[in-house]
Amino acid sequence: MDVTVELHQWIRAAARLVILSGAGMSAESGVPTFRDAQTGLWANFRPEELATPEAFRARPAFVWDWYEERRARMRDVAPHAGHLAIADFQRRHPGRLTVVTQNVDGLHQRAGSPDVLALHGQIAQDTWLDPPRPCCEAAPPVPGRPPACGVCGNLRRPAVVWFGEMLPARELAQAERAARDCDLMLVVGTSGVVYPAAGLARATRGRVVVINPHESDLDDAADLVVRGTAAAVLPKVLADA
């Protein structure tokens, strides 16, 4: 049987579903996957050397500029048919499908998916580098690269999880509960190399399906592997399910 036909049947039979997405979910929207070769000015830097608190404290303007370039790129991309198929399924079946994403691009949210559990934050949002004092909240930050509190100098930083940082506790707890309780988890577009996110695919009582055009570190945890892309497979298997 065609694996997508089998997957469509599994989806129709599942009462509670989780989608765990990674950068490959956004590839067909034109967003480079995380481990793509870096382009342009950043070609000589690994993201792990930029996306850390230490890198930001050492070179705040340099790291800030990297995020500003990525933010500008995100403004030019849009959700694709796979994102829209997920949101459409959620509209037809309220509360039946939970989206857990490692992506910071906000594309699931822009496609209309409600209550997305963004485990690694959102690149379009900022937060304070150090815990804010009353002065930080009393007035808008002074513009700059990065902006800063005009009184104590506390810096603004992208509201994303950097290497070595903890994931947001509330989102992670909700994701763990959804993974544990679901009947079916679709793991879409992730290499499965970063924990705790990848661990969700090993902590579910439900069936696991990997949707990825290439091999991933979670293939061994899968009950079914669909060698295909997010934009091609998801609309097929989520339609009239």
Residues that bind ligand OAD (CB under 6 A): 22-24, 27-28, 33-35, 51, 102, 120, 161, 188-191, 193-194, 212-214, 216, 229-230
* Nearer to ligand OAD among residue 148 and residue 201 (C-beta): 201
Q: Least Å distance between CB 121 and ligand OAD?
A: 8
Tokens of 27: 């590839």
Q: Least Å distance between CB 53 and ligand OAD?
A: 12
Residue 102 CA to residue 187 CA, distance in Å, equals: 11
* Nearer to ligand OAD among residue 18 and residue 51 (C-beta): 51
Find all residues with CB under 8 Å of 103, minimum gap 6, and list them. 21, 22, 23, 25, 26, 31, 118, 120
Residue 239: CB atoms within 10 A of its CB come to 12
Q: Specify whether 80 is catalytic.
A: no
Q: Least Å distance between CB 139 and ligand OAD?
A: 31
8, 83, 120, 214: the catalytic one is 120
Q: Least Å distance between CB 150 and ligand OAD?
A: 30
Residue 135: CB atoms within 10 A of its CB come to 13
* Nearer to ligand OAD among residue 10 and residue 162 (C-beta): 162
Q: Least Å distance between CB 82 and ligand OAD?
A: 8
- DSSP, collapsed to helix, strand or coil, labels residue 148 as strand
* Nearer to ligand OAD among residue 123 and residue 149 (C-beta): 123
Alpha carbon 158 to chain centroid, angstroms: 15
Count Cβ neighbours within 10 Å for each residue of 49-83 and write b for 16 or more, e otherwise. Answer: ebbbeebbeeebeebbebbeebeeebeebebbbbb
CB-nearest residue to ligand OAD: 24
The two counts, helices (H) then strands (E), for the chain are 10, 8
Q: How far apart are the first and last CA of the chain?
A: 18
* Nearer to ligand OAD among residue 90 and residue 212 (C-beta): 212
Find all residues with CB under 8 Å of 34, minimum gap 6, and list them. 22, 23, 47
What is the set of active-site residues? Answer: 120
